[in-house]
Amino acid sequence: MNDREIDQLLRKLEPGGEPGLEGALREAGQELLEEIMSSAEKSGITSEATPFVLVRLPKKSSAGRRTLLGAGAAVAAAVAIVIPTLILGGGKTVPPASPASPEAPSVSPSPSPDPASVVTTNPHVLMDAPGWKVDYVNETDWGKGVYGQLRYAKADAEIEISWSPPGAYKGMVRDRVAEYGQPMPFTLFGEKAVAFKRSGGEFEAMAKSGQAFLSARSSGVSDFQTFRRRLDDFSAVTPEQWFAGMPDSVVTPPESTAVAAQIISDIPLPPGFDTTIFSSRLTNSYHQFGAGVTGRITCAWLDDYTEAYDARDQKGMAAVDRALSGAADWAFIKWSSRSSGWDQAVLDYTGRVADRKPVSGYDAGLGCDAFADS
């Protein structure tokens, strides 16, 4: 099957495409399987984390959301390429945080950014089913649009929704056909879609809608009909309702300024450092968000240190050393020492400063471009 024939097939999956999707897929599945090679796989993160008492913003009551979730969904879409972390530009893997203490104090929400002004591929869907809870949330912007994922878990079962710009859509469908064979016609959040039975008893559905690409993937779900029913438990909501439906272990855009202020309250800032960069339009786990904040500040200090080191400026190096010497006692770093290796990533560099050694590689190691596009 040549590229023109493949494109004709894929157009049948899109709104306004040609009729006869099921028959075309049945005829083309085996031919695609024989001609198309390679597939993109996702990596996930699972880790336990020690709770940290932090200033949290009050969440809205879920009562209204539950009423809304009884309605049907009609949603735009996202991605099958899963980006598990990457609020940190260097690819530092940081697991999600456990929910914060219910006794933590609250503060008034930041007025910015305005959710209505945020341009995103996030379909803003929530699941309403007994026992299912948000397990992981991540968003990142690589400059070409927002990539993200939302994972719900119940016991050993998971449902993961991923979103991204639409560019990867055709290639991902091709890859899945190549690996798993003939797809099944499907409807995902009101959009024409295809579904695949993956190895290990997993299922995956893909759809394209407007300027977004959506993937829904399961694990630990017994059969295809159960997969379909679980997806029926999702409904589209407004951005504000979606933010309110996130657990306290997640930092949403309206919370970002206040949570960042709490994280940096015991951290010395370089002269002229602009803290407004932490007002994010993306949603991430508290752990990822805090790693981005502390990494960005540490990077700024290391920039100053590198300049002083190259100039053999002893006073300049000493000033950076004084600022970073207490890093092990920063509240977020102490907390992360009990939940991941992020503290060591920071302390490795501060130790080199203390020893007056050159530092390199911290742009990637600490994610110095965190919040650059947030």
Distance between CA 160 and CA 183 in Å, rounded? Answer: 19
Indicate whether 38 pLDDT > 90: no
Cα 243 from Cα 166, distance rounded (Å): 24
Q: How far apart are the first and last CA of the chain?
A: 41
What pLDDT sits at residue 182? Answer: 87
- Ranges of H-type helices in 84-135: none
Q: How many CA atoms lie within 13 A of 156 on its CB side?
A: 5
Q: Given this model, what pLDDT does residue 12 score? A: 54
Helix (H) or strand (E) holding 159, with range, is strand 157-164
Every domain of the chain and the residues it spans: 250-365
For residue 374, the model assigns a pLDDT of 62
State residue 58's pLDDT score: 40
pLDDT band at 238; cut points 50, 70, 90: very high
Query: pLDDT tens across 267-315, in order?
Result: 999 999 999 999 999 999 999 999 999 999 999 999 999 999 999 999 9
Q: What is the structure's pLDDT at 370?
A: 84
- For 3-36, how does the pLDDT look when each residue is reduced to its tens digit (9 = 90+)? 444 455 555 554 444 434 434 433 333 333 333 3
Candidates 49, 137, 152, 151; CA nearest to 86 is 137
Contact 264, 136 (CB under 8 A): no
**Model confidence at 367: pLDDT above 60:** yes
Q: What is the pLDDT of residues 52-105, one digit of tens each?
A: 333 334 443 333 332 333 333 332 233 222 223 333 333 323 333 333 332 332
